[in-house]
């Protein structure tokens, strides 16, 4: 078993390998689509037999569909990772546990692991049960100069609750950098109530056939108004018109969010994990 640079491969073959599993690794697919550096291919010893694809730039993303059936994969991963820094492990849970096993042989254990449901929109999204009031408005956010400042408070609250490791403070610099990247490359919408932005949602990865939804957050004082539902519905209908499908991951124990996505039409299709390392 070998782990080789993806630059030695025909990227159309990488696309064909990963497409059946794309709903659980949209960010990885977006990197393959852009032919980014730091992509690696797991093979069985011959380049023609691809077993998995990795991306590693401190954050480790992966698609290893049959990791629990591949003899020797923990050792191959340990050999590959022994001289590389991993600050975050991010992907499907079965393969993630195999990678954790490999990292543990190197005396590296995550100090926090979060578990999520992967969900995919299987039908047309269900519209919100209530119309917006006349004082509410949904706007698309595209201006890095203006919208970064406007969305910053909601982005910080979202990152602190859903993204950052427990106890880690999210800075304006971190939230602002992520917002600028979203505004530059992704769909981003905000909902204004009486002229004030109170809810946001965006895509955070665009793959070959899927778009990953993320960044959904409503200020606590404005919840139970179906604002998140309106934003998710807006993004999903736009994405579906492009011929792509929509997937997301949501914390297993976030019952209100899981129930909301199920009502809109999302179905659980897998388990996802994020592990944080010092």
pLDDT in tens, 104-115: 999 999 999 999
- Average pLDDT taken over every residue of the chain: 95
What's the pLDDT tens digit per position in 61-88? 999 999 999 989 999 999 999 999 999 9
Answer whether residue 276 is part of any domain.
Answer: no
pLDDT at 164: 85
Dist CA 55 CA 53 (whole Å): 7
pLDDT at 122 over 90: no
Helix (H) or strand (E) holding 269: strand 266-276
Answer whether residue 60 is part of any domain.
Answer: yes
Q: Is residue 195 left, alpha or beta, with left meaning phi > 0 and alpha meaning psi from -120 to 50?
A: left
Answer whether residue 130 is part of any domain.
Answer: no
The tally of domains found in the chain comes to: 2
217 phi, psi to nearest 5 deg: -155, 135
Q: How far is CA 66 from CA 15, 69, 159, 179, in A?
A: 17, 5, 32, 35
Answer whether residue 124 is part of any domain.
Answer: no
What's the pLDDT tens digit per position in 142-184? 999 999 999 999 999 999 988 888 888 999 999 999 999 999 9
Helix (H) or strand (E) holding 14: helix 11-18
pLDDT at 239: 97
What's the pLDDT tens digit per position in 237-271? 999 999 999 999 999 999 999 999 999 999 999 99
pLDDT at 47 over 70: no
Beta carbons within 8 Å of 174's beta carbon, 6+ residues apart? 159
Instruction: Return the CATH number at 223.
Output: 3.40.630.30
């Amino acid at each position: 078993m070998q782990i080789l640079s993806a630059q030695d491969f025909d990227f159309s073959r990488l696309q064909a390998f990963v497409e059946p599993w794309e709903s659980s690794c949209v960010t990885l697919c977006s990197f393959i689509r852009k032919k980014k550096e730091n992509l690696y291919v797991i093979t069985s010893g011959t380049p023609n037999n691809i077993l998995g694809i990795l991306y590693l730039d401190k954050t480790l993303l992966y698609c290893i569909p049959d990791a629990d059936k591949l003899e020797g994969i923990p050792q191959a991963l340990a050999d590959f990772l022994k001289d590389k820094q991993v600050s975050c492990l991010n992907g499907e849970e079965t393969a993630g546990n195999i990678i954790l096993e490999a990292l543990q042989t190197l005396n590296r254990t995550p100090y926090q692991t979060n578990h999520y449901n992967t969900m995919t929109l299987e039908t047309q999204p269900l519209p919100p049960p209530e119309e917006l009031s006349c004082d509410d408005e949904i706007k698309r956010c595209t201006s890095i100069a203006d919208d970064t400042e406007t969305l910053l408070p909601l982005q910080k609250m979202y990152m602190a609750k859903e993204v950052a490791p427990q106890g880690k403070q999210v800075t304006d610099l971190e939230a602002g950098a992520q917002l600028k990247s979203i505004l530059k490359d992704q769909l981003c919408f905000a909902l204004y109530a009486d002229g004030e932005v109170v809810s946001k949602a965006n895509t955070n990865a665009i793959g070959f056939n899927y778009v990953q939804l993320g960044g959904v957050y409503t200020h606590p004082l404005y919840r139970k108004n179906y604002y998140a539902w309106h934003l998710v519905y807006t993004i999903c209908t736009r994405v579906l018109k492009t011929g792509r499908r929509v997937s997301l991951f949501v914390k297993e124990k976030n019952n209100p969010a899981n129930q909301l996505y199920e009502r809109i039409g999302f179905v659980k299709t897998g388990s996802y994990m994020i592990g944080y390392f010092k």
